[in-house]
Structure 1
Amino acid sequence: MRHPLRAVAALAAAATLLTGCGSGDDWSEPHAAPVPAGTLGPGFLASSATPAPESTITPAPGSWSGVHPPEGYRVVLLATGDDAPTRALVSAVTSWATTEKADLRTITADATDPIPDIAEAVRLAPDLIVSAGETLIDPLAVVTANHLDQQFLVVGAELAEPTGNVTAADWAGASFRGEGLGSATTYDPASFTAARCGDAVRAGVAAVLHDVTGVIVWLS
């Protein structure tokens, strides 16, 4: 489903905007580009070459564990849906943000028309927007292509044709795709465990922090 591009500019007056970890910071103030603490471990990338856009990388388990965002890393969690997989993803992002002392704000998007809520997340200009919930996939495809300077991380799903600012962290039991492609035959809601979702968030953020973007980070 495609929405009119003029809707991208609309802001979400009714968005549920919550302020979380380290949120005393005023996001309207100047903010330096984030510098990661730590480096990608052996096996995160198959070679020293930068992966091609829309390609899939399969990092070695735990090769992302040494990477941390700087304290105060600005993150918007954009979520919709009350299904068990979405709840698990939201919990994983929240737990990660608390551990890493990231500055997390959460927008609960309107499931019937999430584009204004996605536009509100972009307006906040965070270091990263993390999405959780299958309903967001097609609307994200509209917005992300028009905001190439904003980094997005899709967890537990993929955009069918992502631009270079959209990174996905996925695995065999997840891998929902938009544009009518739906879920893979291997889709399994039970695979959205706390451990798996936590690894996906950390691996995805590690990739973004090291400018490995526009790819699918596939957890084996």
Structure 2
Amino acid sequence: MLNIKAKTRSFIIVCGVVLIIFYIEYSNRKEDEHFAANAEYTIGKVSKITKRGGHRTTSISRIIEYKYYYKGKWISDHGPLEKELGEVRNGAPIIDAYYAVKYDPSNLSSSKILITSRPITRNVAFKSYTKMYGEIESINPTYPGYIRINAAYTFKGERYKVETILHKDSLPCGTLDECKESKRIKLFVSDNFPYFTDLFYKSSNRQHLQ
């Protein structure tokens, strides 16, 4: 009698474990399907590579910490350093470099950074672009010979901002006084990554991103 009870208890435990495993796999599959059906693309910036808690520091135990741009805010997230199912890892991530990020707008904690062989360069961003004018929010001299400009622009219904530092003789809006008077500035906006403009890349502090 005791053996029957023990076997019954063991059978129930095994069935419970199997059901839990099936439920987890089913939930993960549904989440993956939802992500694939609803995901959109934006740009992200690698912040740092850190170790997972309680593990030795190996490539498997490390994660990529990054932030991605969404409606004027930077959302922090992380992903595995090594390639896993659904992840793109075609190169070594570069700290402070920009990559494409796939995210779920209905669940901002669900995102994947696409580590391609190279980060997003100016040539990649501007394979397709739109010419337009932005509004100058502030424009002031900074270090000798250079002007800091903060501008805003609307692209496909979304509002974006860009800060750039340009030489005083290469302002797209003319002289400093002319720019202050017109309060607008010409810019080229990347169609695929509208956070990026020509002013972003022309800035004296971003020449390394060319």
TM over 0.5: no
Choose between structure 1 and 2 for higher RCO, CA contacts under 8 A separated by at least 6 residues: 1
Q: Which has the larger radius of gyration?
A: 2
Q: Which has the higher strand share?
A: 2
TM class by shorter-chain length?
Answer: under 0.3
